[in-house]
Structure 1
Amino acid sequence: MALNANDRSIATFTMAAHALVHWFETSIPIFLVVWLAEFDISVALVGVVVALGYAPFGIGALPGGILADKYGPQRLILCCLLGMSLSFVALAGAAVVDSIYAVAVGLVLWGITASVYHPAGLALISTGVDDRGTVFAWHGIAGNVGIALGPFVAATLLIVLDWHVVAAILAVPGFVAALYGLQANFDPVAAVEDDVDAGPDEALSLPELISSTRTLFASAFAIIFVIVAFEGLYYRGMLTYLPEILNGLPATQGIEIAPTLERYDIDPEFYIYVGLLVIGMAGQYVAGKLIDRISPARGLAASFAILTALALAFVPVTGMGLGPLVVLCGVFGFFLFAIQPFYQNAVAVYTGADSRGLSYGYTYLGEFGIGAASIAVGGLVLGISETGFFLTIATFSVAGAVLATGLVFGLDRLYTGDTTGSGQATDD
């Protein structure tokens, strides 16, 4: 079924913004390797610095969701695009003072401004789009385009340019997308009941916020929140440190490309990393098409089980040669991103449309805020043992699998008054 005009307009706007959020986000691990060489610091210290940027990316999702409910998602997304671009311009300026702490300031500014996108963008899709599954799929694919292009463009530009110049260049598409967003026109509540107010809401008072939060966490959403937090710990830890783990593996020593990359110790493994991100687009698309056929709980349980097996397979497979390594990374990329449409849809299934911004705010507080903890923890563990790192990551997916399996067998029914256990969306 073809998307209607309103669905297409929302899809285009959110896809562009989602791609750019991850364009910026996943270029940071490439810079991480550069900063290790440029500032001559430890992996643990640079991990803490990067975590300072990623933490507000998640922590700010909650106020971002509240602001989306108050001011409307379109305004929030425009502010996000402008803020992220300006933050990378500031990051480029950190080279002037030649300090890793100035880099930390630029990353914190990026994290704050980027944090509003996911609650605003996903709330907009869930309330404004009729064909939600299809748009979730394309929205996820757009995110993966940004996830793949960010590190690819960053690593490629570093062949000929200094890192601060590359950071400034990466900011340009954000300004272009903001100009496009200024003229976007759509109905943000076209897909929900007439009693959902299309206009801006009054700001939640503290007692109202506490009351709304209690109501939200007195439902099965509480389980979804914890599941998403474990997924975030897995996702952030793996994507942050895979470039460093893949860097210099014996399996790839025979590949020769762009010798000038060696000044920043950037090797062909980075293009394997980019390849797995590209394959993630297929995972997003397939899972997005399956969310109307498979319950969120079953999709999450199966995805976590596979991700656990993949994390445990990394150390033995990296010693088997280039072919097995490439296959493992491809399968990993597919399932790392296939899980995302399932938890995004789970939020829509287990919450009401009138609190969707708040719901997605808490969701991405768990995904990126709590998830950022695995950067600091992962840096410490990786400095001791690579095997220990993957075992730590696997514990996160095991915990998620256990909770998701509980949902399959009716764990959500423990919540008094919860009517969403059947898997029917509350706003359909």
Structure 2
Amino acid sequence: MTTNERKTISLLSLSHFFCHVAILTFPAILILLKEKFHVSFATLGIIAGIYLFLFGAGSLPVGFIADKINKNFLLKVYLIGMSLSAFLAALSGNFYIFAVFIILMGLIASIYHPVGLSIMSFVKTDKLRGFAIHGIAGTLGVALSAAFAGFLGYYFGYSAPYLVLGLVFLFIFVYSFFVKIESNKIENIKNRNNTINNINSNNNRNNNSNNNININKINSNSDNNYENYSESKNVNLLTNIKSFFNDFFHRNIVFIFIVEFLNGFVFQGVFSFLPAYTGIKLKNFLFFHNQTVAAGSFYVTIALLVGVLFQYSSTYITKRYKPNRVFSVLVLISGIFILISGLTGGLILFLSILLFSAFDFSINPISNLLISRNAKEYYRSTAYGIFFFAGFGLGSIAAPIGGFIASSFRLSDAFVFYGIIALISFVISIAITNYNVDEAEAI
């Protein structure tokens, strides 16, 4: 990797790590907030639901916006926005004012994934390794967030984690000015517009439209091999939308989005109930003795750390095998182990949870790579926005569905259900081919 690519990955990895730390600080200090402000768990749950939904759903419009303006600018907006909202939350003495800034933090945090992943996709040297490092940083943020927020909150009060987060994001914001961000060039956006105009003009001719569109062919661009055309006149909104769908969606990327929704569904469902499930089933396992909460927290932390260790391994596997096939196999194996976890207990349950985490987290860098190979450069942010929305936004319905299953039947049945969904995801993933949109355009 070049020096600048290493700096870019460092900047994005820090941003990714603290994105997840910030998002998971609120649930980590829930008890402190309840005692400090004398509010119910129901109220705290509503606040958590709102900001987590915005965290996932906000990535969809951000993705579209990021393809039209400077990604470096949006990254800076994210960093300074997180810093300010964290400071304001820390300084809020009233719960409802505090809640407003927590919700704002969830919305601002939604900027990161479509922007950060899009910037990552333009790393030219060993892209998969870059995605793996970036993914590991995020997973570490998830794994260590409880310890970070719990320690600071316990010893220094509920506001301490947010004060520290405000300072950290401010530091990263300053650091971002010393890193040259490389992403899609402005001429690629122009080419996209010219290409769409060309498609529009062809559609209008085919439909015997009365609009006369003057097409002037100009020099081809070496970056994406598209021919540039002058702007067409009187292109209506519906035609633009149709052109976008024709230019953006293809068979492979649709299957990737579907599989990501199912994988995100499984991930969010499993980790929503894993502390409770392992705490109940393994409260007397290893060195625990009827310590449900402590046991559950311990097993989940270990599972997440195992996921971190194995996440990097996929970079080696894909050097020997096609990434789409590795992707499918990992989805299958992770599904099998989560299915086993719902049917067993004791040592087998413990091992199945660890192995699920190992294989499931190994999927992450490959799925990011598949998006970069299947989305055109000028639609990368849009693609990652839809991708993140599918996994985290739509996937968030897994928790209430799992809760309904657990209430109506048993908690273990929810894990069996998630395992079945993972196997369905595997079947669909088989349809994903080893397609590369850049290579296809070059032919």
TM-score (norm 1): 0.79
Alignment of 1:386-397 (within 5 A): 386-397=411-422
* Corresponding residue number in structure 2 for 1:415: none
- Determine what percentage of the aligned residue pairs are the same residue: 23
Q: Distance in 2 between matches of 1:155 and 1:300?
A: 35
1:228: which partner in 2? Answer: 260
Partner residue in 2 for 1:61: 59
Aligned to 1:97: 94
Instruction: Determine whether 1:400 maps to 2:428.
Output: no
Partners of 2:380 and 2:314 in 1: how far apart?
21
- Over 3 Å counting, the alpha-carbon distance change for 1:325 and 1:388 in structure 2 is closer
Please state how far the C-alpha of 1:380 moved relative to its aligned partner. Answer: 4.0
**Cross-structure match for 1:187:** 182
After TM superposition, the structure 1 stretch with the greater mean CA deviation from structure 2, 288-297 or 230-239, is: 288-297
Is the 8 Å Cα contact of residues 341 and 348 (structure 2) preserved in structure 1?
A: no
* Mapped contact 2:314–2:366 kept (Cα < 8 A): yes
The answer as to 2:41 corresponding to 1:41 is: yes
Taking a change above 3 Å as real, the CA distance of residues 59 and 210 of structure 1, as seen in their structure-2 partners, is: farther
Gap regions ≥5 residues in structure 2: 189-220, 226-235
* 1:176-255 matches, cutoff 5 A: 176-189=171-184, 194-195=222-223, 207=238, 208=240, 211-247=243-279, 249-251=282-284, 254-255=287-288
1 CA distance for matches of 2:180 and 2:158?
A: 37
In structure 2, what is the Cα distance between the partners aligned to 1:241 and 1:367? 17
Please identify the structure whose Cα radius of gyration is greater.
2
SS at match of 2:294: coil
For residues 404 and 51 of structure 1, the distance between their equivalents in structure 2, rounded to whole angstroms, comes to 30
1:146 equivalent in alignment to 2:116: no
Q: 2:72 aligns with which of 60, 68, 74?
A: 74
Report the alpha carbon displacement of residue 180 of structure 1 after superposing the two structures with TM. Answer: 1.0
Q: For 1:327-349, what per-residue CA distance to the aligned partner results, in whole angstroms no more than 9, with x for missing partners?
A: 33332321221111121111122
2:296 is equivalent to residue 299 of structure 1? no
1:162 to 140, 157, 161: 157
Per-residue CA shift, 1:361-415, capped at 9, x if unaligned?
21112111111222333344444431232133224312211110233xxxxxxxx
**Structure 2 Cα separation of the partners of residues 251 and 16 of structure 1:** 37
Cα distance 1:77–1:267, how it changes in 2: closer, same or farther (>3 A)? same
Residue 327, structure 1, aligned to residue 351, structure 2: yes
Q: Identify if the C-alpha distance between structure 1 residues 393 and 52 changes in structure 2 by more than 3 Å, giving closer, same or farther.
A: farther
- Is the deviation greater in 151-160 or in 331-340? 151-160
Contact 2:338 2:352 in 1 (8 A): no
Instruction: Report the Cα distance in structure 2 between the residues aligned to 1:7 and 1:423, rounded to whole angstroms.
Output: 25
Q: Is the 8 A contact 1:48 1:375 kept in 2?
A: no
Aligned to 2:313: 286
Q: Secondary structure at the match of 2:313?
A: helix
Residues 235-272 of structure 1, C-alpha deviations (whole Å, 9 max, x = no match):
2222233234344652259549xxxxx9xx96253233
Return the offset for 1:107: 4.2
The CA RMSD measured in Å over matched residues stands at 3.3
Question: What pairs with 1:101-112 in structure 2 (closer than 5 Å)?
Answer: 105-112=100-107
SS at match of 1:307: helix
Which residue is equivalent to 2:294?
Answer: 267
Amino acid at match of 2:243: S
2:343 matches 1:311 = no
Cα pair distance change 1:50/1:307, threshold 3 Å: farther
User: Is the CA contact 1:307–1:397 (under 8 Å) kept in the aligned structure 2?
Assistant: yes
Q: How much has 1:324 moved relative to structure 2?
A: 4.7
Task: Quote how far apart the aligned CAs of 1:53 are.
Answer: 1.7
Tell whether the 8 Å contact from 2:75 to 2:116 is kept in structure 1 after alignment: yes
> In the aligned structure 2, how far is the partner of 1:91 from the partner of 1:393?
36
Q: Could you give the per-residue CA deviations for residues 255-296 of structure 1, whole angstroms, max 9, x where no partner exists?
A: 49xxxxx9xx96253233222222212222011333343333
- Report deviation, 1:91: 4.4
- SS at 1:154's partner residue? helix
What count of residue pairs does the alignment treat as equivalent?
A: 392
Q: Could you tell me how far apart the structure 1 residues matched to 2:413 and 2:358 are?
A: 24
1:251–1:129 distance in 2 versus 1, CA, 3 Å: farther
> CA offsets, 1:127-167, max 9 Å, x none?
24332122112111222222222122123334434334334
Query: Secondary structure at 1:389's aligned position in 2?
Result: helix
CA distance in 2, matches of 1:69, 1:306: 35
Q: Structure 2 residue aligned with 1:133, among 112, 119, 128? A: 128
Q: Residue 423 of structure 1 corresponds to which residue in structure 2?
A: 435
Match in the other structure for 2:360: 336
Decide whether the 8 Å contact of 2:274 with 2:296 is kept in 1: no
Aligned partner of residue 195 in structure 1, secondary structure: coil
CA deviation map 1:95-118 (0-9, x unaligned): x3346xx66544432221111212
Give me the whole-angstrom Cα distance separating, in 2, the residues matched to 1:393 and 1:129: 36
SS of the equivalent of 1:372 reads: helix
SS at match of 1:251: coil
Q: Given that residues 255 and 431 in structure 2 are in contact (C-alpha distance below 8 angstroms), is that contact kept between their aligned partners in structure 1? A: no
Unmatched 5+ residue regions in structure 1? 198-204, 257-261, 408-420
Q: Is the 8 A contact 1:252 1:269 kept in 2?
A: no
Distance 1:400 1:271, change over 3 A: same
